[in-house]
Structure 1
Protein backbone atom coordinates (compact mmCIF):
# COMPACT_ATOMS: atom_id res chain seq x y z
CA UNK A 1 0.00 0.00 0.00
CA UNK A 2 2.61 2.53 -0.87
CA UNK A 3 1.23 6.08 -1.10
CA UNK A 4 -0.98 4.31 1.19
CA UNK A 5 -4.71 4.30 1.68
CA UNK A 6 -4.06 3.35 5.30
CA UNK A 7 -2.26 6.66 5.89
CA UNK A 8 -5.42 8.48 4.81
CA UNK A 9 -7.47 6.35 7.17
CA UNK A 10 -5.09 7.24 9.99
CA UNK A 11 -5.60 10.98 9.49
CA UNK A 12 -9.38 10.68 9.32
CA UNK A 13 -9.66 8.45 12.39
CA UNK A 14 -7.22 10.45 14.48
CA UNK A 15 -9.38 12.17 17.11
CA UNK A 16 -10.40 10.06 20.12
CA UNK A 17 -13.96 10.03 21.37
CA UNK A 18 -15.41 11.68 24.47
CA UNK A 19 -14.48 9.11 27.15
CA UNK A 20 -10.77 9.61 26.52
CA UNK A 21 -11.13 13.40 26.39
CA UNK A 22 -13.00 13.28 29.73
CA UNK A 23 -10.37 11.12 31.44
CA UNK A 24 -7.07 11.55 29.60
CA UNK A 25 -4.99 9.68 32.18
CA UNK A 26 -7.41 6.82 32.88
CA UNK A 27 -5.34 3.74 31.84
CA UNK A 28 -8.33 1.47 31.30
CA UNK A 29 -10.22 3.89 29.07
CA UNK A 30 -7.12 4.80 27.13
CA UNK A 31 -6.21 1.14 26.50
CA UNK A 32 -9.75 0.44 25.35
CA UNK A 33 -9.78 3.42 22.99
CA UNK A 34 -6.46 2.39 21.48
CA UNK A 35 -7.70 -1.19 21.17
CA UNK A 36 -10.83 -0.09 19.32
CA UNK A 37 -8.79 2.13 17.02
CA UNK A 38 -6.31 -0.66 16.26
CA UNK A 39 -9.06 -3.21 15.68
CA UNK A 40 -10.91 -0.88 13.31
CA UNK A 41 -7.71 -0.40 11.33
CA UNK A 42 -7.05 -4.14 11.02
CA UNK A 43 -10.62 -4.73 9.85
CA UNK A 44 -9.79 -2.65 6.79
CA UNK A 45 -6.08 -3.20 6.18
CA UNK A 46 -3.45 -5.87 6.72
CA UNK A 47 -0.27 -4.87 8.51
CA UNK A 48 3.00 -6.20 9.85
CA UNK A 49 3.63 -5.93 13.58
CA UNK A 50 6.20 -3.17 13.06
CA UNK A 51 3.93 -1.14 10.81
CA UNK A 52 0.98 -1.52 13.16
CA UNK A 53 3.07 -0.59 16.21
CA UNK A 54 4.39 2.51 14.49
CA UNK A 55 0.89 3.53 13.47
CA UNK A 56 -0.47 3.17 17.02
CA UNK A 57 2.51 5.02 18.48
CA UNK A 58 2.01 7.96 16.11
CA UNK A 59 -1.68 8.01 16.97
CA UNK A 60 -0.92 8.27 20.68
CA UNK A 61 1.59 11.05 20.03
CA UNK A 62 -0.97 13.04 18.09
CA UNK A 63 -3.57 12.53 20.78
CA UNK A 64 -1.07 13.82 23.30
CA UNK A 65 -0.09 16.83 21.17
CA UNK A 66 -3.78 17.70 20.80
CA UNK A 67 -4.22 17.54 24.58
CA UNK A 68 -6.52 14.52 24.58
CA UNK A 69 -4.19 12.35 26.66
CA UNK A 70 -1.22 12.79 28.99
CA UNK A 71 1.48 10.19 28.40
CA UNK A 72 5.13 9.68 29.16
CA UNK A 73 7.27 8.07 26.49
CA UNK A 74 7.68 4.82 28.42
CA UNK A 75 3.93 4.55 29.05
CA UNK A 76 3.10 5.06 25.38
CA UNK A 77 5.60 2.37 24.40
CA UNK A 78 4.10 -0.03 26.96
CA UNK A 79 0.57 0.58 25.67
CA UNK A 80 1.58 -0.07 22.07
CA UNK A 81 3.64 -3.15 22.97
CA UNK A 82 0.77 -4.63 24.99
CA UNK A 83 -1.74 -4.04 22.20
CA UNK A 84 0.57 -5.50 19.56
CA UNK A 85 1.17 -8.58 21.70
CA UNK A 86 -2.57 -8.99 22.32
CA UNK A 87 -3.43 -8.75 18.63
CA UNK A 88 -0.63 -11.16 17.72
CA UNK A 89 -2.02 -13.74 20.15
CA UNK A 90 -5.50 -13.25 18.69
CA UNK A 91 -4.13 -13.84 15.18
CA UNK A 92 -4.92 -10.32 14.01
CA UNK A 93 -1.22 -9.67 13.46
CA UNK A 94 0.75 -12.36 11.65
CA UNK A 95 3.93 -11.27 9.89
CA UNK A 96 4.36 -14.58 8.07
CA UNK A 97 0.81 -14.48 6.74
CA UNK A 98 1.13 -10.80 5.88
CA UNK A 99 4.34 -11.42 3.93
CA UNK A 100 2.90 -14.45 2.09
CA UNK A 101 -0.18 -12.49 1.05
CA UNK A 102 1.87 -9.52 -0.14
CA UNK A 103 4.25 -11.74 -2.12
CA UNK A 104 1.42 -13.64 -3.84
CA UNK A 105 -0.36 -10.43 -4.83
CA UNK A 106 2.82 -8.77 -6.07
CA UNK A 107 3.93 -11.79 -8.09
CA UNK A 108 0.56 -11.95 -9.87
CA UNK A 109 1.19 -8.37 -10.97
CA UNK A 110 4.69 -9.17 -12.22
CA UNK A 111 6.82 -7.74 -9.40
CA UNK A 112 10.46 -8.77 -9.12
CA UNK A 113 12.01 -10.40 -6.06
CA UNK A 114 13.94 -7.21 -5.35
CA UNK A 115 10.89 -4.95 -5.54
CA UNK A 116 8.91 -7.27 -3.28
CA UNK A 117 11.74 -7.52 -0.75
CA UNK A 118 12.09 -3.73 -0.60
CA UNK A 119 8.34 -3.32 -0.22
CA UNK A 120 8.21 -5.79 2.66
CA UNK A 121 11.15 -4.10 4.34
CA UNK A 122 9.35 -0.77 4.12
CA UNK A 123 6.41 -2.41 5.91
CA UNK A 124 8.66 -3.62 8.72
CA UNK A 125 8.88 -7.30 7.76
CA UNK A 126 12.05 -9.09 8.87
CA UNK A 127 14.44 -9.73 5.98
CA UNK A 128 14.70 -13.47 6.56
CA UNK A 129 10.94 -13.79 6.79
CA UNK A 130 10.59 -11.85 3.54
CA UNK A 131 13.10 -14.11 1.76
CA UNK A 132 11.28 -17.21 2.99
CA UNK A 133 7.92 -15.88 1.79
CA UNK A 134 9.32 -15.11 -1.66
CA UNK A 135 10.99 -18.52 -1.97
CA UNK A 136 7.92 -20.39 -0.73
CA UNK A 137 5.66 -18.59 -3.21
CA UNK A 138 7.80 -20.10 -5.93
CA UNK A 139 7.16 -17.91 -8.98
CA UNK A 140 10.07 -17.98 -11.40
CA UNK A 141 11.64 -14.58 -12.04
CA UNK A 142 11.22 -14.98 -15.80
CA UNK A 143 7.50 -15.60 -15.34
CA UNK A 144 7.22 -12.51 -13.15
CA UNK A 145 9.03 -10.42 -15.77
CA UNK A 146 6.70 -11.72 -18.49
CA UNK A 147 3.66 -10.85 -16.38
CA UNK A 148 5.02 -7.34 -15.99
CA UNK A 149 5.60 -7.07 -19.76
CA UNK A 150 2.06 -8.23 -20.44
CA UNK A 151 0.62 -5.62 -18.06
CA UNK A 152 2.73 -2.84 -19.57
CA UNK A 153 2.33 -4.00 -23.18
CA UNK A 154 6.07 -4.17 -23.80
CA UNK A 155 8.38 -6.96 -24.99
CA UNK A 156 6.35 -9.83 -26.50
CA UNK A 157 3.11 -7.85 -25.96
CA UNK A 158 4.22 -4.60 -27.56
CA UNK A 159 2.03 -3.23 -30.29
CA UNK A 160 3.52 -3.10 -33.77
CA UNK A 161 6.88 -4.32 -35.02
CA UNK A 162 9.91 -5.04 -32.88
CA UNK A 163 11.65 -1.71 -32.18
CA UNK A 164 15.23 -0.83 -33.03
CA UNK A 165 18.11 -1.25 -30.59
CA UNK A 166 17.30 1.96 -28.73
CA UNK A 167 13.67 0.91 -28.35
CA UNK A 168 14.67 -2.50 -27.03
CA UNK A 169 17.10 -0.88 -24.59
CA UNK A 170 14.28 1.31 -23.28
CA UNK A 171 12.18 -1.77 -22.62
CA UNK A 172 15.11 -3.48 -20.89
CA UNK A 173 15.62 -0.34 -18.79
CA UNK A 174 11.94 -0.37 -17.81
CA UNK A 175 12.35 -3.90 -16.51
CA UNK A 176 15.60 -2.99 -14.74
CA UNK A 177 13.84 -0.16 -12.88
CA UNK A 178 11.42 -2.79 -11.59
CA UNK A 179 14.29 -4.79 -10.15
CA UNK A 180 14.81 -7.36 -12.90
CA UNK A 181 18.36 -8.23 -13.95
CA UNK A 182 19.50 -6.70 -17.25
CA UNK A 183 20.34 -10.09 -18.76
CA UNK A 184 16.88 -11.40 -17.91
CA UNK A 185 15.24 -8.27 -19.27
CA UNK A 186 17.08 -8.63 -22.57
CA UNK A 187 16.03 -12.27 -22.92
CA UNK A 188 12.41 -11.48 -22.12
CA UNK A 189 11.95 -8.55 -24.51
CA UNK A 190 13.37 -10.60 -27.39
CA UNK A 191 10.88 -13.45 -26.97
CA UNK A 192 8.11 -13.92 -29.51
CA UNK A 193 4.55 -13.55 -28.32
CA UNK A 194 3.94 -17.26 -28.87
CA UNK A 195 6.99 -18.33 -26.83
CA UNK A 196 6.15 -15.89 -24.05
CA UNK A 197 2.56 -17.11 -23.76
CA UNK A 198 3.76 -20.70 -23.75
CA UNK A 199 6.05 -19.91 -20.79
CA UNK A 200 3.09 -18.38 -18.99
CA UNK A 201 0.93 -21.39 -19.76
CA UNK A 202 -1.49 -19.35 -21.82
CA UNK A 203 -1.36 -21.80 -24.70
Structure 2
Protein backbone atom coordinates (compact mmCIF):
# COMPACT_ATOMS: atom_id res chain seq x y z
CA UNK A 1 0.00 0.00 0.00
CA UNK A 2 1.40 3.34 -1.00
CA UNK A 3 1.87 6.04 1.56
CA UNK A 4 0.13 9.16 0.38
CA UNK A 5 2.53 11.50 2.19
CA UNK A 6 5.44 10.10 0.15
CA UNK A 7 3.67 10.32 -3.18
CA UNK A 8 3.92 13.49 -5.23
CA UNK A 9 0.67 15.39 -5.39
CA UNK A 10 -0.59 16.77 -8.63
CA UNK A 11 -1.35 20.42 -8.54
CA UNK A 12 -4.95 21.07 -9.52
CA UNK A 13 -5.08 22.75 -12.88
CA UNK A 14 -6.96 26.04 -12.77
CA UNK A 15 -9.96 26.01 -15.05
CA UNK A 16 -10.25 28.79 -17.60
CA UNK A 17 -12.82 31.55 -17.02
CA UNK A 18 -16.25 31.23 -18.55
CA UNK A 19 -17.19 32.69 -21.89
CA UNK A 20 -20.72 32.81 -23.34
CA UNK A 21 -20.63 29.26 -24.72
CA UNK A 22 -19.20 27.60 -21.61
CA UNK A 23 -21.57 29.52 -19.33
CA UNK A 24 -24.54 28.35 -21.39
CA UNK A 25 -23.21 24.78 -21.30
CA UNK A 26 -22.86 24.96 -17.51
CA UNK A 27 -26.43 26.26 -17.22
CA UNK A 28 -27.73 23.55 -19.53
CA UNK A 29 -25.92 20.83 -17.59
CA UNK A 30 -27.35 22.13 -14.31
CA UNK A 31 -30.91 22.43 -15.66
CA UNK A 32 -30.70 18.95 -17.18
CA UNK A 33 -29.45 17.37 -13.97
CA UNK A 34 -31.57 19.12 -11.33
CA UNK A 35 -35.16 20.26 -10.98
CA UNK A 36 -34.57 23.94 -10.50
CA UNK A 37 -36.07 27.41 -10.43
CA UNK A 38 -35.02 30.64 -12.06
CA UNK A 39 -33.62 31.91 -8.77
CA UNK A 40 -31.64 28.73 -8.08
CA UNK A 41 -30.18 28.68 -11.60
CA UNK A 42 -29.22 32.35 -11.29
CA UNK A 43 -27.51 31.72 -7.94
CA UNK A 44 -25.67 28.71 -9.38
CA UNK A 45 -24.37 30.65 -12.38
CA UNK A 46 -23.28 33.60 -10.22
CA UNK A 47 -21.40 31.24 -7.90
CA UNK A 48 -19.67 29.59 -10.85
CA UNK A 49 -18.68 33.00 -12.21
CA UNK A 50 -17.23 33.97 -8.82
CA UNK A 51 -15.20 30.75 -8.79
CA UNK A 52 -13.79 30.90 -12.32
CA UNK A 53 -14.36 34.43 -13.55
CA UNK A 54 -15.79 35.85 -16.79
CA UNK A 55 -13.91 36.16 -20.05
CA UNK A 56 -16.63 37.58 -22.29
CA UNK A 57 -17.50 41.02 -23.60
CA UNK A 58 -19.20 43.15 -20.97
CA UNK A 59 -20.90 41.70 -17.90
CA UNK A 60 -21.97 38.05 -17.84
CA UNK A 61 -25.48 37.61 -19.37
CA UNK A 62 -26.86 35.58 -16.46
CA UNK A 63 -30.36 37.09 -16.41
CA UNK A 64 -30.74 36.85 -20.19
CA UNK A 65 -29.57 33.23 -20.14
CA UNK A 66 -31.99 32.29 -17.35
CA UNK A 67 -34.86 34.09 -19.13
CA UNK A 68 -34.07 32.19 -22.35
CA UNK A 69 -34.06 28.90 -20.45
CA UNK A 70 -37.44 29.76 -18.92
CA UNK A 71 -38.87 30.62 -22.35
CA UNK A 72 -37.70 27.28 -23.72
CA UNK A 73 -39.20 25.44 -20.74
CA UNK A 74 -35.90 24.18 -19.33
CA UNK A 75 -36.73 26.00 -16.09
CA UNK A 76 -40.36 26.18 -14.94
CA UNK A 77 -41.00 27.76 -11.55
CA UNK A 78 -44.68 26.80 -11.51
CA UNK A 79 -44.01 23.12 -12.24
CA UNK A 80 -41.19 23.07 -9.68
CA UNK A 81 -43.43 24.64 -7.03
CA UNK A 82 -46.26 22.21 -7.74
CA UNK A 83 -43.98 19.17 -7.58
CA UNK A 84 -42.28 20.37 -4.39
CA UNK A 85 -45.62 21.14 -2.71
CA UNK A 86 -46.99 17.70 -3.65
CA UNK A 87 -43.87 15.97 -2.32
CA UNK A 88 -44.05 17.84 0.97
CA UNK A 89 -47.78 17.15 1.31
CA UNK A 90 -47.14 13.43 0.79
CA UNK A 91 -44.54 13.56 3.56
CA UNK A 92 -47.10 15.21 5.84
CA UNK A 93 -45.90 18.81 6.01
CA UNK A 94 -48.25 21.75 6.51
CA UNK A 95 -48.85 25.00 4.65
CA UNK A 96 -46.31 27.09 6.59
CA UNK A 97 -43.50 24.60 6.03
CA UNK A 98 -44.36 24.24 2.34
CA UNK A 99 -44.48 28.02 1.91
CA UNK A 100 -41.10 28.32 3.60
CA UNK A 101 -39.57 25.67 1.33
CA UNK A 102 -40.94 27.39 -1.77
CA UNK A 103 -39.63 30.79 -0.66
CA UNK A 104 -36.21 29.23 -0.03
CA UNK A 105 -36.25 27.87 -3.59
CA UNK A 106 -36.95 31.36 -4.94
CA UNK A 107 -40.61 30.84 -5.85
CA UNK A 108 -42.53 34.11 -5.86
CA UNK A 109 -45.61 34.75 -3.70
CA UNK A 110 -47.98 34.75 -6.70
CA UNK A 111 -46.98 31.23 -7.72
CA UNK A 112 -47.20 30.01 -4.14
CA UNK A 113 -50.64 31.57 -3.76
CA UNK A 114 -51.79 29.66 -6.86
CA UNK A 115 -51.10 26.43 -4.95
CA UNK A 116 -52.82 27.58 -1.75
CA UNK A 117 -56.14 25.86 -2.53
CA UNK A 118 -54.43 22.50 -3.12
CA UNK A 119 -52.30 22.81 0.01
CA UNK A 120 -55.21 23.88 2.23
CA UNK A 121 -57.45 21.16 0.82
CA UNK A 122 -55.01 18.44 1.87
CA UNK A 123 -54.01 19.97 5.23
CA UNK A 124 -55.83 17.49 7.44
CA UNK A 125 -54.70 14.44 5.49
CA UNK A 126 -51.12 15.76 5.54
CA UNK A 127 -51.29 16.24 9.33
CA UNK A 128 -52.51 12.66 9.71
CA UNK A 129 -49.69 11.38 7.49
CA UNK A 130 -47.14 13.28 9.56
CA UNK A 131 -48.64 12.05 12.84
CA UNK A 132 -48.62 8.45 11.57
CA UNK A 133 -45.02 8.72 10.39
CA UNK A 134 -43.85 10.24 13.70
CA UNK A 135 -46.18 8.12 15.88
CA UNK A 136 -47.95 11.13 17.32
CA UNK A 137 -51.39 11.28 18.93
CA UNK A 138 -53.64 8.41 17.90
CA UNK A 139 -50.67 6.66 16.27
CA UNK A 140 -48.57 6.57 19.45
CA UNK A 141 -47.75 3.23 21.01
CA UNK A 142 -48.92 4.36 24.44
CA UNK A 143 -50.89 7.23 26.00
CA UNK A 144 -48.83 10.37 26.36
CA UNK A 145 -48.03 12.35 29.46
CA UNK A 146 -48.31 16.18 29.34
CA UNK A 147 -44.60 16.67 28.53
CA UNK A 148 -44.82 14.28 25.60
CA UNK A 149 -47.94 16.02 24.32
CA UNK A 150 -46.05 19.33 24.38
CA UNK A 151 -43.28 17.72 22.32
CA UNK A 152 -45.85 16.42 19.85
CA UNK A 153 -47.43 19.85 19.52
CA UNK A 154 -44.02 21.42 18.96
CA UNK A 155 -43.11 18.82 16.32
CA UNK A 156 -46.39 19.34 14.47
CA UNK A 157 -45.93 23.12 14.62
CA UNK A 158 -42.40 22.82 13.19
CA UNK A 159 -43.88 20.70 10.40
CA UNK A 160 -46.04 23.71 9.51
CA UNK A 161 -49.44 22.63 10.84
CA UNK A 162 -51.77 25.18 12.48
CA UNK A 163 -52.23 24.74 16.22
CA UNK A 164 -56.02 24.29 15.92
CA UNK A 165 -55.52 21.31 13.62
CA UNK A 166 -52.82 19.84 15.88
CA UNK A 167 -55.00 20.07 18.99
CA UNK A 168 -57.92 18.52 17.12
CA UNK A 169 -55.70 15.69 15.88
CA UNK A 170 -54.46 14.92 19.39
CA UNK A 171 -58.09 14.46 20.49
CA UNK A 172 -58.83 11.90 17.76
CA UNK A 173 -59.66 8.44 18.98
CA UNK A 174 -57.34 5.74 17.55
CA UNK A 175 -60.40 3.75 16.42
CA UNK A 176 -61.53 6.67 14.22
CA UNK A 177 -58.34 6.58 12.14
CA UNK A 178 -58.05 2.80 12.00
CA UNK A 179 -55.25 2.36 14.51
CA UNK A 180 -55.12 -0.51 16.97
CA UNK A 181 -54.13 0.64 20.48
Say which structure is richer in helix. 1
1:91-125: CA deviation from partner (whole Å, max 9, x where unpaired): 11111111111111110000110001011111110
For residues 101-120 of structure 1, what are the structure 2 equivalents within 5 Å?
101-120=83-102
The structure, 1 or 2, with the larger RCO (C-alpha pairs under 8 Å, 6+ apart) is: 2
Name structure 2 gaps, 5 residues minimum.
1-12
Q: 1:166 aligns with which of 147, 150, 175?
A: 147
Query: What's 1:9 paired with?
Result: none
The answer to whether the 8 A contact 1:103-1:134 is kept is no
The 1:32/1:197 distance shift into structure 2, 3 A limit, reads farther
CA RMSD of aligned residues (A): 2.3
Query: What's 1:4 paired with?
Result: none
Query: What's 2:50 paired with?
Result: 61
1:9-54: CA deviation from partner (whole Å, max 9, x where unpaired): xxxxxx986xxx3xx5xxxx71221111111112221111111111
How big is the shift at 1:183?
2.1
Query: What's 2:135 paired with?
Result: 153
Name structure 1 gaps, 5 residues minimum.
1-14, 199-203
Query: Matched residue of 1:118: which SS?
Result: helix
1:179-200: CA deviation from partner (whole Å, max 9, x where unpaired): 21222111112212332349xx
Query: What's 1:181 paired with?
Result: 162
TM-score w.r.t. the length of structure 1 is 0.74
Higher mean C-alpha displacement, 30-39 vs 120-129: 30-39
The answer to whether the 8 A contact 2:19-2:55 is kept is no
Larger Rg: 1 or 2? Answer: 2
1:40 aligns with 2:29: yes
**Number of positions where the alignment pairs a residue of Structure 1 with one of Structure 2:** 167
The 1:176/1:136 distance shift into structure 2, 3 A limit, reads closer
The 1:31/1:193 distance shift into structure 2, 3 A limit, reads farther
Query: What's 2:126 paired with?
Result: 144
TM-score w.r.t. the length of structure 2 is 0.82
1:193 aligns with 2:174: yes
How big is the shift at 1:80?
0.7
Q: 1:84 aligns with which of 56, 61, 66?
A: 66
How big is the shift at 1:158?
1.2
